Amino acid sequence: MHIAELLQSIFSSSSGIVTTKQPARPSKQVPFIPSDDPLTQDAYWKAIQNFLRPGDVIVVEDGASSAGMGRLILPEGCTYITGAFVWCSIGYATPALLGAILASPDRRHILLTGEGSLQMTVQELSTVMRHDLKPFIFVINNSGYTVERAVLGKAAKYNDVANWRYSELPNIFSRDKKAETYVVTTSNELQKVLDSPHPGMVLVESVMDKYDAPIDLIVGGHALADSDFGVPGPQSRGNAQIPLPAR
């Protein structure tokens, strides 16, 4: 079968599907007061919610990024792209960002990822810069695979990753100054970046505690451990997982 025949077959089989246009939604702003306290997942996602605007293309990585983004409300006309919960293939989002920008260059593009996933496919930043593309890239740096710490191995070495200088990666991938880069450790620092005008590509490395995680990630990690290992299992031992928050 030729590719044209395959595409026609897919189109024909889906042409009868009825879609319903979702009602328009205003941009959502959540109450948020930045501080000089260490940056937390809660503050991070509140700041991101207020940063989103109608028409954005938001590419979201598996793990903490998809769990945190899952509670946000998209403004009207946004496009949400993720491989989470479908393939659970970390590293998908960074090259997906490249494809999304090339497909819709007139829209604002935002990548939300973590450092563990970024390390899988980071070389695509080189292609983004070679084509002088201008996305916003937000990298959570919390010293490893947060979702795995919620499943099993809270303090295990196999859930750690090499501690790169993520904010310096654009200088490796391009000899020309093509990106603004920031390292933020407080919500005040993050908010200042979000409030400032940026004519080009922006990469923000957001440093957080290794055991801080979105609530949905922790709940999902515990459920996955119970499904994988049974109850009781190795996850039942003391300090084996990021604990559920006290109610």
pLDDT in tens, 77-114: 999 999 877 677 899 999 999 999 999 999 999 999 99
Q: Is the pLDDT of residue 20 over 90?
A: no
**Alpha carbon separation from 50 to 32, 47, 93, 148, 197 (Å, rounded):** 9, 5, 22, 29, 15
| pLDDT digit string, tens, across residues 180-203 | 999 999 999 999 999 999 999 999
- Domain extent for 186: 32-235
| Contact criterion met (CB below 8 Å) for 220 and 244 | no
Q: Does 177 reside within a domain? A: yes
| pLDDT digit string, tens, across residues 25-76 | 666 788 899 999 999 999 999 999 999 999 999 999 999 999 999 999 999 9
Q: Using CB atoms within 10 A of its CB, is residue 15 exposed (0-12), middle (13-18) or buried (19+)?
A: exposed
Q: Does 247 reside within a domain? A: no
The count of structural domains within the chain is 1
Mean pLDDT, to the nearest integer, of 118-136?
A: 96
Mean pLDDT, to the nearest integer, of 121-147?
A: 97
Mean pLDDT, to the nearest integer, of 133-138?
A: 98
Mean pLDDT, to the nearest integer, of 159-167?
A: 97
In degrees, rounded to 5, the angle at the alpha carbon of residue 122 between the alpha carbons of residues 116 and 128 is 140
Residue 33, phi-psi category: left (phi > 0), alpha (psi -120 to 50), beta (remainder): beta
Mean pLDDT, to the nearest integer, of 229-242?
A: 94
Banded model confidence at residue 24, pLDDT cuts 50, 70, 90: low
Q: Does 11 reside within a domain? A: no
In degrees, rounded to 5, the angle at the alpha carbon of residue 199 between the alpha carbons of residues 194 and 200 is 95
Average pLDDT, the chain: 92
Q: Give the H or E element holding residue 206.
A: strand 201-207
Q: Does 25 reside within a domain? A: no
Closest of 101, 178, 93, 95 to residue 140, by C-alpha: 93
What pLDDT sits at residue 19? Answer: 47
Mean pLDDT, to the nearest integer, of 136-153?
A: 97
What pLDDT sits at residue 118? Answer: 97
CATH number of the domain that 121 lies in?
3.40.50.970
What pLDDT sits at residue 8? Answer: 75
Q: Does 12 reside within a domain? A: no
Q: Is the pLDDT of residue 16 over 70?
A: no
Q: From the CB of residue 133, how many other CB atoms can be counted at a distance below 10 Å?
A: 18
- The residue among 1 and 132 whose pLDDT is bigger is 132
List all residues 6 or more positions away from 148 whose beta carbon is below 8 Å from its beta carbon. Answer: 159, 221
Q: Does 182 reside within a domain? A: yes
The percent of residues above 90 in pLDDT, for the chain, comes to 81
